[in-house]
Structure 1
Amino acid sequence: MPNIGKEGSKKLIAAGINTPEELTKIGSKEAFIRIKSIDDTACFSMLQALEGAIRGIRWHHLPEPIKKDLKIFFDSLK
């Protein structure tokens, strides 16, 4: 999956998400909540990377409405 390197994979596995299918099934927001619960340093870029991975694109290419939705979600977690 794009955007998911070694460190991202480790974080996903530590959060109980072991396959791309599992990530796709639970979605980027739930995956981010799980990662954030074990890694306080998880940031907005991580959330975007998860969404991009699910969509099969680099997170830089996410459509603006999706980025805005993710930002609202991210800010709601603070």
Structure 2
Amino acid sequence: MTTLTDLPNIGKKLQEQLISVGIDTPEKLRQIGSEEAWLKIYEIDPSACINRLYGLEGAIRNVKKTELEKSRKEELKAFCREVKG
């Protein structure tokens, strides 16, 4: 079975946060999506930033966050700005 830390961009701390919000497998992360997973983390850790959101998206796509397409990064950035106000 694959664990969250087997995915790119997911270290021990982010894995702990994901598990604490009920996302304990890569499959659950893929099902919920990066935005919803980030929102759940943001509720327990208001310091969650755009880089964490990029990391989650990259993990779902199985790429490093630096390899995300510019257009997707812009979408995520707009989402993050909207949430944070």
TM-score by length of 2: 0.90
Partner of 1:23: 29
Partner of 1:56: 62
The 2-side partners of 1:14 and 1:41 are apart by 16
Partner of 2:9: 3
Residue type at the aligned position of 2:28: E
Partner of 1:33: 39
Mark the runs of 5 or more structure 2 residues left unpaired by the alignment: 1-6
Mark the runs of 5 or more structure 1 residues left unpaired by the alignment: none
CA drift at 1:18: 0.6
Structure having greater relative contact order (Cα 8 Å, sep ≥ 6): 1
CA drift at 1:37: 0.4
The 1-side partners of 2:79 and 2:68 are apart by 15
CA drift at 1:41: 1.1
Sequence identity percentage: 46
The 1-side partners of 2:50 and 2:22 are apart by 20
Runs (4+) off by over 3 Å: none
SS of residue in 1 equivalent to 2:33: helix
SS of residue in 1 equivalent to 2:9: coil
TM-score by length of 1: 0.98
